[in-house]
Amino acid sequence: MPTREHLHRRDANAWVIEPHGAMRVPAVIYADDELMARMDDKVFEQTANVATLPGIVGAAYAMPDAHWGYGFPIGGVAAFDPDEGGVISAGGVGFDISCGVRTLLTGVAADEVAAVRERLADALFETIPAGVGSTGDIVLGDDDMDAMLAGGARWAVERGWGEAADLARIEDGGRLAHARTECVSARARKRQRKEMGTLGSGNHYLEVQRVADVFEPAAAEAFGLRAGDAVVSIHCGSRGLGHQIGTEALREMVVSAKESGIRLPERELACAPIDSPVGRDYLGAMAAAANCALANRQIITALARRVFADVLPRARLELLYDVSHNTCKIEDHEVDGRRRRLFVHRKGATRAFGPGHPDLPEALREVGQPVLIGGTMGTASYILRGTEDGMARAFGSACHGAGRDMSRRAARKRWQGRAVVDDLAARGILIRSPSFRGVAEEAPGAYKDVGAVVGAADAAGLARTVARIEPMICIKG
Neighbouring residues of 142: CB distance < 8 A, sequence distance ≥ 6: none
- For residue 24, count CB atoms less than 10 angstroms from its CB and return exposed for 0-12, middle for 13-18, buried for 19 or more: middle
Please say if 400 is a catalytic residue. yes
Identify whether the C-beta of residue 377 lies closer than 8 Å to the C-beta of residue 471.
Answer: yes
Q: What pLDDT is stored for residue 271 in this prediction?
A: 98
Identify whether the C-beta of residue 319 lies closer than 8 Å to the C-beta of residue 104.
Answer: yes
Q: What pLDDT is stored for residue 402 in this prediction?
A: 87
Closest C-alpha to 173, from 321, 305, 288, 303: 321
pLDDT tens-place string over residues 369-399? 999 999 888 899 999 999 999 999 999 999 9
CA dist., res. 394 & res. 451, Å (int): 21
Q: What pLDDT is stored for residue 3 in this prediction?
A: 61
Judge: domain 4-476, CATH 3.90.1860.10.
yes
Closest C-alpha to 349, from 201, 238, 457: 457
Q: What pLDDT is stored for residue 377 in this prediction?
A: 86
Neighbouring residues of 456: CB distance < 8 A, sequence distance ≥ 6: 13, 30, 31, 32, 35, 64, 399
Q: What pLDDT is stored for residue 403 in this prediction?
A: 84
Coil, helix or strand at residue 349: strand
Q: What pLDDT is stored for residue 477 in this prediction?
A: 81
Coil, helix or strand at residue 336: coil
Identify whether the C-beta of residue 7 lies closer than 8 Å to the C-beta of residue 29.
Answer: yes
Domain residue ranges in the chain:
4-476
CA dist., res. 434 & res. 476, Å (int): 8
Q: Which helix (H) or strand (E) holds 373?
A: strand 370-373
Closest C-alpha to 466, from 333, 344, 321: 321
Closest C-alpha to 26, from 5, 47, 54: 47
Residue type, 104: L
Identify whether the C-beta of residue 130 lies closer than 8 Å to the C-beta of residue 296.
Answer: no
CA dist., res. 441 & res. 361, Å (int): 37
- The pTM of this model reads 0.96
Name the active-site residue from 235, 243, 357, 400.
400
- The full 3-state SS of 315-332, as one line of letters, equals CCCEEEEEEECCEEEEEE
Q: pLDDT under 70 in the chain at which residues? A: 1-3
CA dist., res. 249 & res. 268, Å (int): 11
